[in-house]
Amino acid sequence: MVIKNNKNKEGLLREFSKGIFRQNPIFVSVLGLCPALAVTTSLENALGMGVAVSFVLVFSNSIISSMRNILPNKIRIPCFIVVIASFVTIVELLMAAFAPLLAKQLGIFVPLIVVNCIIMGRAEAFASRNSVLTSLFDGLGMGLGFTLAISCVALIRQVLGRCGILVMLLPPGALLTLGFLMGGLNLMKKEK
């Protein structure tokens, strides 16, 4: 029994940590690039966006996973979208009520979380096939991985932008930063 428990814990930890490194949504799966490119002009925005996406991911993953046995296969996508859109609306309302400045900064990109491929992707590829608890940890890990990744991009852009390289704060800066980061990570992997 003890051994089984340990195994379970390890499994959960694996599901959690894979989102951060092995299957990082931004650098490895290359999903959800729209917010990663658009809101990474400051670290504050990136963190706010990361928390919002993580919240939606955790809840949509748990709810979808708990419904996985009653969802008819043919209409699973509309069901996912209803659940995801509801949680995004909840985040939007909460943000407007408790963090109005952040809500103003992020603007249209909060409602756009609905069409973020990470969330849809995790619902389809993971939550609809795994138990509630593992899906929850998967959501947490993916959310954290996403937050870390866009914070990295935002930090680099903000620092370089402040140093006077204006182009880093404009859209090309986002693409350049992301490209170099991704290239660097792949290079590191190859050399291993």
Q: Which residues contribute to the site for another protein (CB under 8 A)?
A: 41, 67, 70-72, 74-75, 78-79, 82-83, 85-86, 89-90, 93-94, 96-98, 100, 104, 107, 161, 166, 169-170
Whether the Cβ atoms of residue 52 and residue 113 lie closer than 8 Å to each other: yes
Residue number with CB closer to another protein (71 or 176):
71
Compute the residue count for the chain: 192
- How many angstroms separate the Cα of 188 from the Cα of each of 5, 48, 116? 35, 29, 28
| C-alpha torsion sign, points 3, 65, 125, 178 | negative
Tell me how far, at minimum, the Cβ of 75 lies from another protein, in Å: 5
Please state whether 31 falls in left (phi above 0), alpha (psi between -120 and 50) or beta. beta
The one-letter code for the residue type at 30 is: V
In the complex with another protein, the residue whose CB is nearer, 5 or 73, is 73
Nearer to another protein, 24 or 40 (CB): 40
Question: Rounded to the nearest whole angstrom, what is the least distance from the CB of residue 169 to another protein in the complex?
Answer: 4
State which residue, 17 or 89, has the beta carbon closest to another protein: 89
